[in-house]
């Protein structure tokens, strides 16, 4: 199973982080789930607890990118999937 994390900082005093783990058994499904979550996160930005939350995409301890207010969801998701595919190839080569 493949995993990518979307991290958001809540707009409370402590700026509490919330991690949303996106997982799927294949990369095509993972890409779709990631894009859906990023669309939701972008739509929620500016509202309530997410008032200043730019979602960040992480693969383990590696930062992939941040989705700004008018960010390109497709571009960020593609970058994340490229990183995941490179990781999969690296593991297979071992």
Sign of CA dihedral 24, 62, 81, 32: positive
Identify the pLDDT of residue 69.
80
CA atoms of 81 and 59, how far apart (whole Å)? 10
Identify the pLDDT of residue 39.
92
Report yes or no on 19 lying in a domain. yes
| pLDDT, tens digit only, all 94 positions of the chain | 889 999 987 766 666 778 999 999 899 999 999 999 999 888 887 776 666 778 899 998 899 999 988 889 999 999 999 999 988 887 777 7
Cα torsion for 23, 42, 61, 30, to the nearest 10°? 20
- pTM of this prediction? 0.84
Total domains in the chain come to: 1
Identify the pLDDT of residue 41.
86
Range of the domain at 34: 2-88
Within 10 angstroms of residue 12's Cβ, the number of other Cβ atoms is: 9
Report yes or no on 24 lying in a domain. yes
Q: Which structure tokens are listed for 34?
A: 């990631």
Report yes or no on 6 lying in a domain. yes
Report yes or no on 93 lying in a domain. no
């Amino acid at each position: 199973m493949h995993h990518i994390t979307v991290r958001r900082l809540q707009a409370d005093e402590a700026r509490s982080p919330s991690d949303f783990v996106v997982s799927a058994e294949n990369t095509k499904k993972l890409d779709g789930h990631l894009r859906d979550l990023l669309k939701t996160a972008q739509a929620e930005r500016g509202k309530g607890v997410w008032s200043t939350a730019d979602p960040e995409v992480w693969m383990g301890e590696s930062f992939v990118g941040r989705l700004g207010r008018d960010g390109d969801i497709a571009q960020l998701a593609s970058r994340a999937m490229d990183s995941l595919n490179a990781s999969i190839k690296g593991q297979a080569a071992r």
